[in-house]
Structure 1
Amino acid sequence: MLITQEDKPIIESIKRFYKQGLTDYHFGPVVLVDSQGKPIGKVKDGDAVIFCCRRGEREIQLTRAFVDKSFNEFSTKNFKELDFVIMKLYHEMFKNLPLAFKSVSLKNTLGEVISKSGLKQARITESEKFAHVTYFFNGGENRLFPGEVDIEIPSPKGGSFEEKPELNISKVTQKLSKLLNQGEHALIAVNFANGDIIGHLDNRHANIKCAEAIDKHLGITLQASRSQGYMTMITADHGILEKMVSSDGSPSVSHTTNLVPFILIPPKGGSEMPTLKDGGKLADVAPTILEVIGLPKPQEMT
């Protein structure tokens, strides 16, 4: 934790983090204190808090710290009168909290359709992207469909990710290979977290090592999936790693608007390849998967 005096700009604390070799992603908490060393602006009973974050997964732990009396990850105060407003319902445990915006419930998402058909499915990635193959993949809801198994491989802890750009992709691939060999799941959704996590860092060496790791383990995955009779689809929802330098010469560490690929690879031994149309979009991915599996698409899909 970093403590900064009220007469010193907060920017000084940020500079101190940088001098410690920490990037923005790894900043610790910063507390503003007065000349007596007492925190300024502490939340107290009778206050109203509007938690202006609506991603859906990163808010859960902090919200629990304020409203969950059983929270024990660190020392907290049990407030008797605190109006804690959340932007959206990102977990059922917060259903009694004041809600700024009612959530839109999506029907017949890909996972739901597969589950209703009685087929099994698996989701696997490391913890940095676990919400993306579960919460987001299931239409912004924390729920497990019948026949669905979610596998979370812990991401590396301690130190900066740029020191280990491969993250834990090898463990993800090992577990994925076991799932493929079992041959029990109609759909296995895997997220290789490296490209997005390392792509946000201004470190060319780490970016290259990251791309090499993905290339290696994608090859291992393809070999396993094709030998087990799986049709493999490779895509993304945005780019980042493919552009290291912006047009003005500054580092590019943000998501790009470049078109992403959708690559379809048949299993070994051949199988009739579906014909892909030109001009596709991300909304076409789910119905394409259903067609490959042999399930009819619901009316909610393109």
Structure 2
Amino acid sequence: MVEALKKDPSWKGRRGPVVLVIMDGVGYGKYKEGDAVADSKMYHLDAIRAKSPNTKLKAHGKAVGLPSDDDMGNSEVGHNAMGCGRVFNQGAALVSKSIETGAMFTGQAWKDVSSNAAKGGTLHFIGLFSDGNVHSHLDHLKAMIKQAKKDGVKKLRVHVLFDGRDVGETSALDYVDPFEAFLKEQSGSDFDARIASGGGRMWITMDRYGADWSMVDRGWKVHVHGEGRQFATTREAVETYRKEIPGIIDQDLKEFVIAEGGKPIGTIEDGDSVVYFNFRGDRSLEITAAFEEDKFDKFDRGRRPKVCYAGMMEYDGDLHAPKRYLVSPPSIDKTMGEYLAASGVRTLAISETQKYGHVTYFFNGNRTGKFDDKLETFVEIKSDVLPFEQRPWMKCAEITDQILEAIPSGKYDFIRLNFPNGDMVGHTGIYQAVVCSMEAMDLQLGRIAKAVDEAGAVLVITADHGNSDDMFEHDKKSGAVSRKEDGSPKAKTSHSLNPVPCIVYDPECKGEYPNKPYDSILNEGLGISSIAATCIRLLGYVPPKDYDPAVIR
């Protein structure tokens, strides 16, 4: 429990609430070509920025708790940072450290899965097959495979989920071939390690927030039961689908099963062990539920094998899911939400399904529930279940409809919302759709700004990381756009390393901002963790001493 925040005696207050708009995946691009944000007609955002104090914030690498500044930020760590006002070491760093020190392999969870498999069962690994370091990293998988061999495991199977979002959109074989060579080096007469099944991350297994359980159903069938189109090798599966479905990218590759003589080589059976090696929680909870929950009604699991299951981390601290995990997640305490609840601040958090968990669960420090049911309202608007490029505007208008009711209602002191467009559509790699998504979102920013004017509210606009600002692959040395054989730009579907906006629109301040205890020039060089202290100050309170500084002076 935290104590109530102290009132700031110098703050004269505003008539309306503080509104935090998180434009998911919208940064300031480094390159002119491929910057869909700059290329869009963002008339309302530009107008708001022109008359407001604004700055750029870091949203990747060490600024959000990742191991190095070469690591892309993501929505999970971004909302954690904004919500808790400080920087905690995040999943990738925690897992790497646990492997480096050997702590993972001396923990009870690892001992359980490895000793169980060493008794004669198979050790299965399921997870995102890349080094994107957003959900997983292949180095972690390799380290566990080596340890399993040392621990006496005889048979090991890997079920791969191709990426194409956090890494190049058609880079699957760049990972498959070296990994197959690695498995061959490890294998011998007493250790049989092979890829058994797989498919694209947006086609099987990695759904989140219950948006499309059919993905998990397909993953369950292919990983557990070996039901799916059969191939002799993983390379053959990738090459075949690319030939049959022109333009398909890795995240959408259909499911496949590796088989010999018509028989799958890696079904999951009673007595086996299973490790889901993603460290990020949002796309890990549903497959975890399929393995662990006795009362399960999302799809027909058919034969449910009795296995020793472990996740890389605890994906939900409130639900304690999974029951067994290899690395403890960061213990995030004293979040902004907890302080606001203790101070009697009435809060509304809203987004559509794709980012609902980010403005609630992740923003509140990986906490599923509310701090105070009477003070907090959470609203989820159901996302469409179809490719995002087909509806690039997503649900931004519906979100705004509810915001326009909330701002003048007098029911809320603090409102936070997430527009997913820049991230979810950005991941498709379809440039025209991204521009459409940006301009659709901009229309909603104009509607919100008008409501802020009328209510005497304060509007803070920021983002959790970049994405739509960097839609083309570029040569790292020359900066030139990488191109396909036909001369068209090669699409980039991953997040960027670019800074993100921070705009403070406070229309009831006149002239040279005489009515507020902050300067019209904002602090520079900060990260998005500064958003918490900024909002707390704008609400008229003194931020906790251990919070990162606010952007307002």
Q: TM-score, normalised by structure 2?
A: 0.51
Contact 1:51 1:87 in 2 (8 A): yes
SS in structure 1 opposite 2:370?
coil
Report the equivalent of 1:277. Answer: 523
Check 1:71–1:43 CA distance in 2 against 1; reply closer, same or farther (3 A cut): same
- Distance apart, 1:40 and its partner CA: 3.1
Amino acid at match of 2:378: D
Is 1:170 matched up with 2:416?
Answer: no
* Structure 2 CA distance for aligned equivalents of residues 139 and 280 of structure 1: 20
Please, which of 57, 63, 70 is the counterpart of residue 288 of structure 2?
63
* Structure 1 CA distance for aligned equivalents of residues 264 and 401 of structure 2: 47
Amino acid at match of 1:41: G
Check 1:223–1:28 CA distance in 2 against 1; reply closer, same or farther (3 A cut): farther
- Distance apart, 1:237 and its partner CA: 2.3
Question: Which is greater in Rg?
Answer: 2
Is 1:202 matched up with 2:455?
Answer: no
Report the equivalent of 1:132. Answer: 358
* Structure 2 CA distance for aligned equivalents of residues 162 and 184 of structure 1: 35
- Distance apart, 1:204 and its partner CA: 1.9
- Distance apart, 1:225 and its partner CA: 2.3
Amino acid at match of 2:338: E
* Structure 2 CA distance for aligned equivalents of residues 269 and 64 of structure 1: 50
Amino acid at match of 1:257: L
Check 1:268–1:22 CA distance in 2 against 1; reply closer, same or farther (3 A cut): farther
Amino acid at match of 1:294: G
Amino acid at match of 1:216: L
- Between the two proteins, the alignment pairs up a number of residues equal to 298
- Distance apart, 1:155 and its partner CA: 1.3
Contact 2:241 2:254 in 1 (8 A): no
SS in structure 2 opposite 1:3?
coil
Contact 2:423 2:467 in 1 (8 A): yes
Report the equivalent of 2:347. Answer: 121
Report the equivalent of 2:445. Answer: 218
Please, which of 252, 258, 268 is the counterpart of residue 492 of structure 2?
252
Please, which of 467, 474, 489 is the counterpart of residue 240 of structure 1?
467
Please, which of 538, 544, 553 is the counterpart of residue 292 of structure 1?
538
Report the equivalent of 1:105. Answer: 331
Amino acid at match of 1:131: G
Amino acid at match of 2:420: A
* Structure 2 CA distance for aligned equivalents of residues 23 and 172 of structure 1: 30
SS in structure 1 opposite 2:228?
strand
SS in structure 2 opposite 1:238?
coil
* Structure 1 CA distance for aligned equivalents of residues 244 and 364 of structure 2: 37
| Structure 2 segments unaligned to the other structure (5+ residues) | 1-217, 219-226, 483-490, 549-553
SS in structure 2 opposite 1:93?
coil
CA RMSD of aligned residues (A): 2.3
CA deviations on 1:177-206 (whole Å, 9 max, x unpaired) are 111121221211111100111112222211
Please, which of 76, 82, 88 is the counterpart of residue 313 of structure 2?
88
Is 1:40 matched up with 2:265?
Answer: yes
Where do 1:1-40 residues align within 5 Å?
Answer: 3-7=228-232, 9-12=236-239, 14-15=241-242, 18-19=245-246, 23-36=249-262, 38-40=263-265
Report the equivalent of 1:151. Answer: 379
CA deviations on 1:4-40 (whole Å, 9 max, x unpaired) are 3232522145426744x7654445543444443x443
Contact 1:165 1:206 in 2 (8 A): yes
* Structure 1 CA distance for aligned equivalents of residues 310 and 285 of structure 2: 13
* Structure 2 CA distance for aligned equivalents of residues 164 and 243 of structure 1: 20
Contact 1:107 1:300 in 2 (8 A): no
Contact 2:242 2:248 in 1 (8 A): no
Q: TM-score, normalised by structure 1?
A: 0.89
* Structure 1 CA distance for aligned equivalents of residues 253 and 508 of structure 2: 47
* Structure 2 CA distance for aligned equivalents of residues 123 and 22 of structure 1: 36
CA deviations on 1:110-156 (whole Å, 9 max, x unpaired) are 11111110111111111111121112111122221212211111111
Contact 2:393 2:437 in 1 (8 A): yes
Is 1:301 matched up with 2:543?
Answer: no
Report the equivalent of 2:367. Answer: 141
Check 1:132–1:7 CA distance in 2 against 1; reply closer, same or farther (3 A cut): same
* Structure 1 CA distance for aligned equivalents of residues 416 and 277 of structure 2: 30
Amino acid at match of 1:249: V
Amino acid at match of 1:115: A
Amino acid at match of 2:324: P
Contact 1:227 1:268 in 2 (8 A): no
Contact 1:239 1:260 in 2 (8 A): yes
| Deviates further, 269-278 or 230-239 | 269-278
